[in-house]
Amino acid sequence: MPLIVTPGQFTQRAEFYHQLAQLTSAGIGLPRALEQLQRHPPARSFRGPIQRLLQRINAGTTFTESLQLPGGWLPAFDIALLDAGERSGRLDACFKLLADYYNDRARITRQMIADLAYPVGLLHMAIFIFPFAKFFMSGNLFAYLAQTFGVLIPLYVIVVAMIYAGQSKHGEHWRAWVEAILHPIPMLGTGRHYLALSRLAAALEALINAGVTIIEAWELAATASGSPALRRAVHAWKPQLLAGETPAEVIRASPRFPEMFANLYSSGEISGKLDETLRQLRRIYQEDGTRKLHAVAQWVPRFIYLAVALMIAHRVVQFWAGYFKQVQDAGGF
């Protein structure tokens, strides 16, 4: 797995799941679908992992077990959701959900990169231009490089570290740490949480329809949500559920679930139409979470542009203030 996943790689992952969703929903078995993908993969880098996956399945392991063996190339979040899909017999729906998820990640990432291009270019121009006057006067190349690359290299390291930390390929402890940091951030934390609730609702609906017991279905769906906080909260319910409380009751008492989610789930539980309610919850939180993340992708570059503009204005004012001070000290006024 690469150090940093690019928008193009998100698109390739989305195409992989999209093709699997199309083939399996058409009634083609998973091994045949994977063989078809091995012949015509989204990218050449997929051929090796698909071949290993096929070998493991043909040796008698399940799809999810094959993905969990050493050498797997899918994030833990994907594997958890596919596990729920395999248990419920709804792999095609999970493939489609993952295809939509990675398509949306690719779109948001491309939008942010495009919007960041101008402020980032402006920042580089400012960093290289402002020390140039001093370099022109002194001819000290080492000092000029220290004032330019000495600023840029730490910035590059910070940006790469942030991108790496935010990707879904890490283990649960790492993802829990990132989730705890991002959760208080307006729009971003809420958007990520809503998408996790959407994935939980989708997995839960598939598992319940497949006849999985409600306690096991909730635990599997919480793992498939990709949110360590949701998984911990749901796994802590088990004693209460075994004691006779309903999921609707424990959801109402949990701060991890919004009031609307609790109310709709309770209505579905009482009416006996829980599957319809969960489909509605998946759609509501998918749309709401996606909208919030798109807003973040639009506004982050604007804030960066404003910060760069203010920095340049400060440096310009500083330059002219220093110039006029030199003139005054020389007796020019």
Which residue ranges make up each domain of the chain?
7-96, 97-333
Give the tokens for residue 285. 């939180």
C-alpha–C-alpha distance, residues 177 and 256, integer Å: 16
C-alpha–C-alpha distance, residues 64 and 78, integer Å: 10
Out of 3.40.109.10, 3.20.10.10, 1.10.4080.10, 1.20.81.30, select the CATH number for domain 7-96: 1.20.81.30
pLDDT tens by residue, the chain, 333 residues: 454 567 888 899 999 999 999 999 998 999 999 999 999 888 888 888 899 889 998 888 888 888 887 666 787 778 878 888 888 788 888 898 889 888 888 888 888 788 888 888 878 888 888 787 777 777 888 888 888 888 889 988 888 887 777 665 666 777 788 888 888 888 889 999 999 999 899 888 888 877 778 888 898 888 888 889 999 999 999 899 989 899 999 999 999 999 999 999 999 999 989 989 998 999 999 899 989 988 888 888 888 888 878 877 877 787 777 777 777 777 654
Q: Which amino acid is at 55?
A: Q
HSE value, Cβ hemisphere, 13 Å, CA-based, for 90: 20
Report the predicted TM-score, pTM, of the whole model to 2 decimal places: 0.74
C-alpha–C-alpha distance, residues 54 and 252, integer Å: 44
SS3 content of the chain, % helix, strand, coil (to 5): 80, 0, 20
C-alpha–C-alpha distance, residues 264 and 271, integer Å: 11
